[in-house]
Amino acid sequence: MATQQQLQVQKVKNPGLVSCNGSPTKDEKEEDMSRSALALFRAKEEEIEKKKVEVRDKVFAQLGRVEEATRRLSEIREELETLADPLRKDVSVVRKKIDTLNKELKPLGLTCQRKEREYKEALEAFNDKNKEKAQWVSKLMELVSESEKMRMKKLEELSKNVELLHQGENKMLIGVSGVKYMPSQWCVLIPGAKDMSKVVDNINYACTWSDCTAIGCSSSCNNLDANGNASYAFNMYYHIKNQDDLACGYQGLGEVTTQNLSQG
């Protein structure tokens, strides 16, 4: 088909060509060939024009889309240029508040750091003093314990001494004023068999006349009535305490007064 079209085109361009056998062609045949060539050219022109129209339509369509996109982009640009923040005032107020708080927080942070250092120093000092206190409390407990042991030991010794005195192993010189005929008239007494602790527990009525035996005394010692018991009690108590100078004397009517035995 393509070969025939090429031959027709050549015939149209060169109408004086002869046939393959060298004889000229007929007019009808040439005319048919000419019409065929023209028809072919018209078909090509129509095809080209059709393609041209298609391309033009595509270009126009593309241009339309580009124009629409350009218009839309222009509108968007205008909107962007005129765009305003509806909350810009509120945002400005909040930002100013944040800036103010930042300024206030800075010195407060420095103060917190300083206070934290002071707290650590105070806590360290407190712990040191507390440790020192604990050491002294421990020392105090040791001293109290040692003191208690020493006093208990001393009390045990004194208790043993009192028991020895109560057993009558030693004679006691006890001053009794009674009815005094001489400045230094004393009786030597030996404790009886009854509990002598009453002397210390109840001074006023610790012992009675029947609890004591007078030895080597004048009759004045035997004439003492019940009121004289206080004199015996006081005198024996102070003698045990090695405080004879504070012994009390009996003045005949049950009245007990302090009297220095060294003066008789």
What is the average pLDDT value for the chain, to the nearest integer?
67
What six digits make up the tokens of 193?
A: 């068999």
- Do the beta carbons of residue 235 and residue 229 sit within 8 Å? no
- Give the dihedral of Cα atoms 142, 146, 147, 150; nearest 10 deg: 180
d(C-alpha 264, C-alpha 246), whole Å: 12
Question: Per-residue pLDDT tens for 116-145?
Answer: 999 999 999 999 999 999 999 999 999 999
Range in 29-43, 70-84, 97-111, 188-202 with the lowest mean pLDDT: 188-202
- Do the beta carbons of residue 194 and residue 211 sit within 8 Å? yes
C-alpha 226 chain-centroid distance: 76
Range in 95-104, 131-140, 154-163 with the lowest mean pLDDT: 154-163
What's the distance, Cα to Cα, between the start and end of the chain in Å?
182
Range in 29-38, 105-114, 253-262 with the lowest mean pLDDT: 253-262
Strand stretches in the chain, DSSP E: 172-174, 187-191, 212-215, 248-250, 256-258
- Do the beta carbons of residue 192 and residue 216 sit within 8 Å? no
**Bridge partner list, 256:** 250
pLDDT of residue 241: 67
pLDDT of residue 229: 47
pLDDT of residue 122: 93
- Do the beta carbons of residue 247 and residue 220 sit within 8 Å? no
d(C-alpha 247, C-alpha 262), whole Å: 10
Chain position carrying tokens 């001393």: 154
pLDDT of residue 150: 92
pLDDT of residue 131: 93
d(C-alpha 263, C-alpha 183), whole Å: 7
- Do the beta carbons of residue 136 and residue 144 sit within 8 Å? no
- Do the beta carbons of residue 189 and residue 210 sit within 8 Å? no
Give the closest residue to 258 by CA, choosing from 190, 194, 140, 175. 175
Confidence of residue 10 (pLDDT cuts 50, 70, 90): low
d(C-alpha 4, C-alpha 12), whole Å: 12
pLDDT of residue 240: 66
pLDDT of residue 167: 63
What pairing do the DSSP bridges indicate for beta strands 187-191 and 172-174? Answer: antiparallel
Question: Per-residue pLDDT tens for 188-235?
Answer: 333 443 444 444 443 333 333 333 333 333 333 333 343 444 455 556
User: Packing angle between helix 2-13 and helix 27-82, nearest 10 degrees?
Assistant: 110
Question: Which residues contact residue 177 at a Cβ distance below 8 angstroms, ignoring those fewer than 6 apart?
Answer: 231, 249, 250, 251, 259
Confidence of residue 30 (pLDDT cuts 50, 70, 90): confident
- Do the beta carbons of residue 179 and residue 252 sit within 8 Å? yes
pLDDT of residue 149: 92
d(C-alpha 80, C-alpha 163), whole Å: 119
pLDDT of residue 123: 93
Domain residue spans in the chain? 2-12+26-73, 117-170, 172-263
C-alpha 73 chain-centroid distance: 64
pLDDT of residue 39: 85
Query: Who wins on pLDDT, 168 or 139?
Result: 139
For the chain, give the percent of residues with pLDDT over 70: 53
